Amino acid sequence: MALVEARERLKDLDPRVRSRALGELIAACEAGEITCRPERPVVNMHCHTIFSYNGYGHSPTSLAWLAREEGWHAVGSVDFDVLDGVDEMLAACDRVGVRGAAGLETRVFLPEYSQWEFNSPGEPGVLYYVGAGFVSSKPTPDAVPVLVDMRERAAARNRDMVARINAYLAPVSIDYERDVLPLTPSGNATERHILVAYDAAARRRYPERAALLRFWAEKLGTSPEAVDAFLGEEPFPHDAIRAKLMKRGGVGYAQPGPETFPPLEEVNRAILACGALPSYAFLDGMNEGEAHLEELLTFLLGKGMVALTVIPDRNWNLANPAERAAKVQRLHQALALAHDLALPVIVGTEMNKPGQRILDDFEAEPLRPYRETFLAGADLLYGHTLLQRASGLGYGSAWAQKYLPDRRWRNAFYTAVGRAAAPGLEAVRRVATWLPADPDGLLARFQRG
């Protein structure tokens, strides 16, 4: 029971509680009280955390422990619009001895293709975009204005949405600062935090379940029986409520335009200034913009993008056979294109919605041929992270550009480093003492151990 409670404390909003719980679990593992699985060839390099929203309540610390206990080869975090969880993610992975990486996801506007929808359905010209392989929660001075702007834009969008929804849901309402921000560890709230706050507010206003069901039925345009089928006993970010209140056509939704999100060039500059890897987040290939994926990726390569982020589950784990066949074909096309363009592929399950997989199934027939591609992407990201932390010799460094100007050479080198290097802070410290060498010399030192 104590160990079960310790796992739950890894998700606490207080970082001191999380850190102490991790220490208890590490000690229990070393004492044989917990059986940690041996390392196996599975990775999840795109996990949201409580610093934006995780559907299972995982903090960076609990993700690191999950990877250690379950024997993952590597794990990577990502959060919307902020770097707040980067330091914790890397430190926790060091403590448990797991290859770790950390990133950021945001939305950008692409004026050159403002007529097409890409990976943000119903929002032409808007792209979800990822920076992978950050090594500090503190951005470089050149990146600070962009990251501050991203955080402020997100908060402003949330406040405007809450104002519109409050007007619609009256007499139920919430206060953004009082009811939403305390649900997050660092004030970076998302739509799902807002949903939880509205669910809680409705329960306070209507403590009798029959009255609560009638309220939501009226506001959602459905029956009390339909609400009763999804409304549990605790506040929860229900998709049925989100669709009515927040998604396109909902009362809280505002159609984005060129001024809603920062331009791609600004975000690219900030990611590169921090030594991280800009990456396009592939959706499923079914919209007009991704139907022209080669054109898009070639354009983005010219802007500094160097990797492709993929959430494989949404392209094959589907009940409708025709939809599944179409999306699997588009996934194969995207991965073939990534190979042709020498783009590392970073995969994960997101975890920013309850019900999403904890881990991809690399044994599923559509994914089995790409297992090595997915593992190589994880190794590359860890190799970059290690060298960037230790000596500033990451994937986009001047050193890498000098010695490895060809992307295929560069990909092979950082993948080999990530595979040969041990996880943990000791590896970072040891590499920091090595004098810069050419890639062959540096890799030889890793391979010698």
Record the tokens describing residue 344, joined without a space: 């590392």
Say which residues have a Cβ less than 8 Å from residue 33's Cβ, sequence separation at least 6: 3
Q: List pLDDT tens digits, range 354-371.
A: 999 999 999 999 999 999
What CA–CA distance (Å, rounded) separates 405 from 271?
19
pLDDT digits (tens, 9 = 90+) for 185-215: 999 999 999 999 999 999 999 999 999 999 9
8-state DSSP, 435: P
- Give 299-316 pLDDT, tens digit per residue: 999 999 999 999 999 999
For CA atoms 120, 126, 132, 135, the dihedral sign is negative
In 3D space, the residue among 315, 304, 296 whose CA is nearest the CA of residue 116 turns out to be 296
Query: Residue 447: its pLDDT value, please?
Result: 82
* Placement of tokens 């993948």 in the chain: 415
Q: Report pLDDT digits (tens) over 123-162.
A: 999 999 999 999 999 999 999 999 999 999 999 999 999 9
Q: Is the pLDDT of residue 223 over 70?
A: yes
Give the predicted TM-score (pTM) of the model.
0.95
- HSE-CB of 32 using CA atoms within 13 angstroms: 0
Tell me the pLDDT tens digit for each residue of 41-90: 999 999 999 999 999 999 999 999 999 999 999 999 999 999 999 999 99
Question: Using CA atoms, how far apart are residues 205 and 432, in angstroms rounded to an integer?
Answer: 58
Token pair recorded at residue 96: 């448990």
Q: Which of the four pLDDT bands, split at 50, 70 and 90, describes residue 448?
A: confident
Going by C-alpha positions, the residue among 379, 400, 377 that lies closest to residue 388 is 400
Percent of the chain scoring above 70 in pLDDT: 100
Q: How many CB atoms lie within 10 A of CB 185?
A: 19
Tokens for 321?
A: 């056979």
- List, in order, residues 6 or more apart from 222 with CB less than 8 Å away: 240
DSSP states of 243-310: HHHTSTTSTT-----TTTS-BHHHHHHHHHHTT-EEEEEE--S-SHHHHTHHHHHHHHHHHT--EEEE
Question: Side chain identity at 365, as an amino acid letter?
Answer: E
Q: What is the mean pLDDT of residues 342-357?
A: 96
Using pLDDT thresholds of 50, 70 and 90, give the confidence band for residue 1: low
Residue located via tokens 């809280």: 252
- The domain spans of the chain are 1-35, 41-137+275-377, 149-245
Neighbour count for residue 137 (Cβ, 10 Å): 17
Fold of 41-137+275-377: TIM Barrel (3.20.20)
User: What is the predicted pLDDT for the residue at 435?
Assistant: 73
As a whole number, mean pLDDT of residues 436-441 equals 87
Contact 123, 255 (CB under 8 A): yes
The yes-or-no verdict on residue 334 having pLDDT over 90 is yes
